[in-house]
Structure 1
């Protein structure tokens, strides 16, 4: 099942919790809205948020509409049908199936939002701190140390290259030429 990458492409989804035999239309021919129906597109509201000119030119401004531009978390696109499936030989009642689907979706969405509210900021702080420390170590300690070692061992690199060119390359070249004359023919019996 393909999912849109942008939040702006999401369509409203309505899950009917009534059996097809219990469907009652309203006076004007429309169905009543479910209270847990997905929210409409909020892109226009997000674009009207006042930001300073520094935020507009910053490379750290979060992407509000495309939150996974590289598809890092494609494995998390799980739907009810990916988790629960009843074969034809065993089936629950229609209302049980419909309510199970609705509860799965509501629980999945709202529990994710609750965990995000509770844990997103502390985890972002810890992740930022971790990447800052790793960047500092790489830029100021690891890379200069490696460069100093490489500069101090240029003579060893030259000696190793000469040894390989004089001793190992002729041996492997002659072995390759000797073995290159072999041929294999497959025959059916």
Structure 2
């Protein structure tokens, strides 16, 4: 599998990040700067945004990507080797305990409930 250099967010996980010039700066009708100022502002914004982003990704991107790679490897490792087997053990044991608890309830509690039900069944409600 190769890296797609064109579509770098194919699952749209960062679609909430709106940082284009038009998303950040806007002049409403009636309060607009001179056209050359607006064009120069656009150029400065795009230049500095791209320069700063590329510089910080150059300095930090690989280290941060390595850190996240380790983090997700740890998460996968824990799920495969710890959490899933633990849940399976609990599932097996809880099935046994559920049967055991059901047997105790049916032997000890059910007779009491049935007796109470029989006592109250004898009372008739008058209309």
Structures share a fold, TM > 0.5?
yes
- 1:63 maps to 2:4: yes
Q: Which runs of 5+ in 2 are unaligned?
A: 106-127
- 1:145 maps to 2:86: yes
Structure with bigger RCO (C-alpha 8 Å, 6+ apart): 1
**How far apart are the structure 2 equivalents of 1:71 and 1:97?**
31
**How far apart are the structure 2 equivalents of 1:66 and 1:83?**
23
Instruction: Identify the structure with the greater helix proportion.
Output: 2
* Alpha-carbon shift at residue 112 of structure 1 (Å): 1.1
* Alpha-carbon shift at residue 93 of structure 1 (Å): 1.7
**How far apart are the structure 1 equivalents of 2:31 and 2:64?**
43
**TM alignment of 1:77-92, pairs within 5 A:** 77-92=18-33
**TM alignment of 1:109-124, pairs within 5 A:** 109-124=50-65
- Equivalent residue for 1:132, pick from 63, 73, 80: 73
- Give CA-to-partner distance per residue, 1:130-175, whole Å, 9 cap, x none: 1111111111111111111111111334557xx8xxxxxxxxxxxx
* Alpha-carbon shift at residue 103 of structure 1 (Å): 0.7
Give the alignment's TM-score, normalised by structure 1.
0.49
SS in 2 for 1:74: coil
- Equivalent residue for 1:73, pick from 6, 11, 14: 14
Q: Which runs of 5+ in 1 are unaligned?
A: 1-58, 164-189
**How far apart are the structure 1 equivalents of 2:6 and 2:41?**
30
- Equivalent residue for 1:98, pick from 39, 46, 56: 39
Partner of 1:26: none
Give the alignment's TM-score, normalised by structure 2.
0.70
**How far apart are the structure 1 equivalents of 2:83 and 2:46?**
47
**How far apart are the structure 2 equivalents of 1:115 and 1:157?**
56
